[in-house]
């Protein structure tokens, strides 16, 4: 640890006693906090290069944190990337080059200020980290039209510091760039990303339409009809259960309502009168939709960030080819059964079905990026967990079992290979997750990190 301190400036070291320690170490899921002995906050690539080179020659445990809604932690050194916050816009190439240590809220604001009329396919929640979110795929409201953030047409290049201290743009090493596109942050420390910017509408119809639980039968029918008939890449939707965290905090039983988060980049008139008129016409619909810009759409779920570090929550996201009334009903049946079996799990248990178009996951073939995309169109996301103060080993194991069994109970056909690498939990097998691409990923990993020091969420080498 003294060797590590020696290569950092004093203002690049954050001790556990520092006022900024909590901010720089806070995880999303409380059970994953390993209470780092030291936080390193390199100010530039030179400092980061020296740090990684020293870490490569020690056996000190370390991890890299982009600051988003992941749960990167370490018992030894946690490297905070928050100083890598640069932004530039090239109007001729129509690209942005952004520091990978930012949150997407920072990038959305900078695009709005310095590249008016454009948007980039970043995350749909502003508290997602740029680096972690992109390297693990990257889903956007724009994905139905332009694909994932990490797709070759969007993620054009990445600056990376390798474990031997070398600094390069990954385009100079095409195999490495291929691996970074969905293969995660286990190949080096990515400091900047070059992302395609697209001219995009300024007025988007979005917001929530909420319902009582009694509307589930009709919603299951109407949502599946919408999914089967909607072919417009500028129109998307989420079906989800209402937040249970408030009831959990005050110790009251929770009965989750239903919500639709709608998105129509054609504008409010089209959204209200064509794309989502069917939803607004359902009896009991509560309408809080309106016209807003792209940054404001991404801010709609900002209130959820309040649970950061408050729950011991796990998540899994499964790519599915289609929805149906039966699948939607099975999803909510899993949700109900989970809370009936263990009411304490109400703080971290949720269901979410993300309705998109096929290009979201299929603008490239399986072997064109590090993560081999499943042949699917939508995302089924499940969460399970309890308040951190209520968690226990027994309760955690229940949550693991219920979540691990969830997708098997809901999906017509399920495989770990259909899961997204962004939500990696202990019951996921990384060897199955990357399937046919695994051998190539492992070869690249051995070349750039021969000591297997970078583990991230999973050990790619088994």
Q: What is the CATH number of the domain that holds 341?
A: 3.40.462.20
Q: Is residue 444 part of a domain?
A: no
Q: What is the CATH number of the domain that holds 107?
A: 3.30.465.10
Number of domains the chain is built from: 3
In whole angstroms, how large is the CA radius of gyration of the chain? 22
From the centroid of its chain, how far is CA 11? 30
In the DSSP assignment, the letter for residue 462 is -
266 touches 206 (CB < 8 A): no
Q: Is residue 252 part of a domain?
A: yes
Q: What is the CATH number of the domain that holds 70?
A: 3.30.43.10
Residues 171 and 66 grouped into a single domain: no
Residues 65 and 111 grouped into a single domain: no
Distance CA 207, CA 190 (A): 34
Domain boundary among 33, 55, 80: 80
C-alpha separations of 39 from 9, 231, 266 in Å:
12, 47, 45
Q: DSSP string spanning 354-371? A: EE--THHHHSS-TTSSSS
Domain that holds residue 274: 204-292+309-418
Residues 196 and 339 grouped into a single domain: no
Q: Is residue 450 part of a domain?
A: no
Residues 120 and 180 grouped into a single domain: yes
Q: Is residue 433 part of a domain?
A: no
Residues 173 and 275 grouped into a single domain: no
Give the pLDDT of the chain (462 residues) as one tens digit per residue: 889 999 999 999 999 999 999 999 999 999 999 999 999 999 999 999 999 999 999 999 999 998 888 889 999 999 999 999 999 999 999 999 999 999 999 999 999 999 999 999 999 999 999 999 999 999 999 999 999 999 999 999 999 999 999 999 999 999 999 999 999 999 999 999 999 999 999 999 999 999 998 999 999 999 999 999 999 999 999 999 975 554 444 455 556 789 999 999 999 999 999 999 999 999 999 999 999 999 999 999 998 888 889 999 999 999 999 999 999 999 999 999 999 999 999 888 999 999 999 999 999 988 999 999 888 999 999 999 999 999 999 999 999 999 999 999 999 999 889 999 888 888 888 888 899 999 999 999 999 999 999 988 888 887
Residues 195 and 210 grouped into a single domain: no
Query: Which residues on adjacent β-strands are paired with residue 290?
Result: 206
Residues 224 and 169 grouped into a single domain: no
Domain boundary among 167, 200, 233: 200
Residues 179 and 108 grouped into a single domain: yes
Q: Is residue 409 part of a domain?
A: yes
Residues 288 and 381 grouped into a single domain: yes
148 CB contacts (<8 Å, ≥6 apart)?
121, 137, 138, 139, 140, 154, 182, 360, 361, 363
Residues 112 and 184 grouped into a single domain: yes
Residues 76 and 212 grouped into a single domain: no
24 touches 39 (CB < 8 A): yes
Q: Is residue 436 part of a domain?
A: no
Distance CA 450, CA 208 (A): 48
Q: Is residue 452 part of a domain?
A: no
Q: Is residue 304 part of a domain?
A: no
Residues 25 and 95 grouped into a single domain: no
120 touches 198 (CB < 8 A): yes
Distance CA 166, CA 188 (A): 10
pLDDT at 255: 61
């Amino acid at each position: 640890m003294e060797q590590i301190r020696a290569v950092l400036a004093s203002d690049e070291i954050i001790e556990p006693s520092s006022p900024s320690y909590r901010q720089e170490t806070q995880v999303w899921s409380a059970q994953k906090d390993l209470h780092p002995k030291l936080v390193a906050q390199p100010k530039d690539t030179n400092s980061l290069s020296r740090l990684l080179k020293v870490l490569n020659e020690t056996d000190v445990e370390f991890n890299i944190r982009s600051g988003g809604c992941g749960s990167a932690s370490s018992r030894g050194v946690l490297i905070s990337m928050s100083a890598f916050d640069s932004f530039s816009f090239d109007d001729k190439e129509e690209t942005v080059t952004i520091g990978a240590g930012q949150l997407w809220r920072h990038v959305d604001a900078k695009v709005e200020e310095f590249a008016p009329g454009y948007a980039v396919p970043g995350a749909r929640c502003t508290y997602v980290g740029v680096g972690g979110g992109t390297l693990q795929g990257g889903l956007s409201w724009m994905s139905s039209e332009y694909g994932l953030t990490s797709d070759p047409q969007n993620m054009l290049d990445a600056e990376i510091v390798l474990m031997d201290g070398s600094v390069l743009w990954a385009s100079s090493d095409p195999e490495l760039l291929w691996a970074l596109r969905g293969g995660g942050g286990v190949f080096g420390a990515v400091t900047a990303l070059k992302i395609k910017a697209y001219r995009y509408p300024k007025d988007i119809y979005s917001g929530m339409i909420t319902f009582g639980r009694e509307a589930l039968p009709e919603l299951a029918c109407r949502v599946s009809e919408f999914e089967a008939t909607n072919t417009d890449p500028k129109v998307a939707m989420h079906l989800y259960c209402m937040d249970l965290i408030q009831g959990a905090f005050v110790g009251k039983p929770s009965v989750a309502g239903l919500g639709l988060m709608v998105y129509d980049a054609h504008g409010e008139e089209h959204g209200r009168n064509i794309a989502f008129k069917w939803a607004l016409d359902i009896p009991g619909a509560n309408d809080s939709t309106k016209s807003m810009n792209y940054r404001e759409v991404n801010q709609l779920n900002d209130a959820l960030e309040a649970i950061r570090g408050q729950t011991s929550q796990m998540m899994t996201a499964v790519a599915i080819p289609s929805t149906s009334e039966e699948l939607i009903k099975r999803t909510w049946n899993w949700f109900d059964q989970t809370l009936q079996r263990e009411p304490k799990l109400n703080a971290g248990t949720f269901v979410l079905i993300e309705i998109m178009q096929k290009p979201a996951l299929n603008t490239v073939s399986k072997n064109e990026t590090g993560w081999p995309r499943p042949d699917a169109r939508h995302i089924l996301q499940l969460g399970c967990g309890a308040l951190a103060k209520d968690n226990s080993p027994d309760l955690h194991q229940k949550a693991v079992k219920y979540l691990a069994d969830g997708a098997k109970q809901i999906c017509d056909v399920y495989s770990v290979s259909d899961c997204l690498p962004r939500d990696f939990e202990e019951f996921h097998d990384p060897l199955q997750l990357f399937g046919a691409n695994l051998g190539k990923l492992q070869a690249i990993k051995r070349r750039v990190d021969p000591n297997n020091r970078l583990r991230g969420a999973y050990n790619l080498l088994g």
